[in-house]
Amino acid sequence: MDVVIADRLQFAFTIMFHYLFPITTMGLAPFVALYTIEGIRGDADAAKAAAFWTKIFAINFAIGVVTGIPMEFQFGTNWAAFSAASGAVIGQPLAMEGVYAFFLESIFLGVLLYGKGRVAPQLLGASAVLVWLGSWLSGFFIVATDAWMQHPVGYAITPSGVIELTSLAAVLLSPFAWWQFLHVLCGALVAGGFVVAGIGAYYVLSKRELALARRFVDAGVIVAFIFSILVIFPTGDRNGDDVTKYQPIKLAAMEGLFRSTKDAPLAIIGMPDSHDHDLIDPIYVPDILSFLAYGNFNANVKGLNAYADTLEPPVELTYYAYHVMVGLGTIFAAIAMLAAFYLWRKRLFEEPALLWALMLGMPFPYIASEAGWIVTEVGRQPWIIYGLMRTSAGVSPTVASGEAIFTLIGFAGMYFLLGVLFLYLVLREIALGPSAVAEHAAA
């Protein structure tokens, strides 16, 4: 196997497994903070909820830390040429993530877990808010790093080929980075909303912890409803605008558009065939792609034929990942909207089928988020830094493909055990229930 493919497989596996946990921490952090503050104000049920969700948050945080560390090392072991060329730029937001976000989140999470009854209530509440802030800051710095690789700004290239940082503000304040982060954050909040509502629905269907369960369903549905809309508009729409402007070949791959087309239709479904440069058995909505891309139903949208073959990303993977993201996004948005409607009508808890849908829908935002990252990263190939460095030029010259595959197998085994441990710990807390978890936390 080619060493570039082996290195990419290893990094893809580790980052996709790791990403499951930051999604949850970013999505649950507001719930932890708000329940903690309500509990401090004398709401006994909210205090139980805070203890329960803090424990779930902590388990996700711990596994996220363990699975995130190997990726930092991979920049040096597998992607040394990339790190040598761009480290002066990407090292800044990555270092800020560690110093300003990770330490903030981890220190005050410790206060939340062990400080009740030992520190002032005001400090406990402040700690919950700072954990919330830390989790979101951490996500921002990581996304800003990736956004720079998607759309590099604030840099200069030295005669020796090293990329130097000329403006940290340009990197951190780039509209490309902010819209990408807001889209990621909205997706995480949809996931958090579904987790809270889904676990609440489980307790309602099991006739356990009914007072808390109803609060979980109410809060989770409202959050999932609001952010399932925001993940589409404006954040998804603005991300699409950036792709159209800065990475038009990615847009063509996402839509399976092989030939430049005026009045371009939107492909709802179809099977891209890169060999024959055709979309097989498509179902089209006329003119919509032109409107979504350029705000004009008659606009010409460039297809893959407008670009050199060497610049073409893996079309099938990009196309299917994009349609999985959009399809699942439509499904969980419909579930959230229907649940919000029944909640508004005060009939949600009389509809067991809808409670089952909330519970079984918990994985959908995670799958959609993972599919979205596949679109983002695979769709920018063959570039590791868009327009500046090809992925093939970023690998470590001394690492063989066999070494990458061997360590990938090791990661797969280790992450399988971590996944089993994670499921055991989380399912144990859910089985105990918020009241029992709160009692154990207070002991």
108-119 average pLDDT score: 88
CA distance 142 to 138: 6
pLDDT at position 284 over 80: yes
In this prediction, residue 441 carries a pLDDT of 63
In this prediction, residue 438 carries a pLDDT of 67
Position 418, amino acid: L
pLDDT tens figures, 133-166:
999 999 999 999 999 999 999 999 998 889 999 9
What pLDDT band is residue 443 in, cutting at 50, 70 and 90? Answer: low
CA distance 47 to 438: 8
Bridge-partner residues for 285, per DSSP? Answer: 266
Single pTM value for the model? 0.95
Q: Are β-strands 266-273 and 261-262 bridged in parallel, bridged antiparallel, or unpaired?
A: unpaired
CB 275 within 8 A of CB 315: no
11-34 average pLDDT score: 95
Residue 442 burial class via C-beta count within 10 angstroms: exposed 0-12, middle 13-18, buried 19 and up: exposed
Q: What is the mean pLDDT of the chain?
A: 92
Position 237, amino acid: D
392-396 average pLDDT score: 92
- Length of the chain (residues): 443
Which of 20, 49, 334 is CA-nearest to residue 217? 49
Instruction: Quickly list DSSP for 16-37.
Output: HHHHHHHHHHHHHHHHHHHHHH
- State the CB neighbour count (10 A cutoff) for residue 397: 7
Helix (H) or strand (E) holding 389, with range, is strand 389-390
In this prediction, residue 436 carries a pLDDT of 73
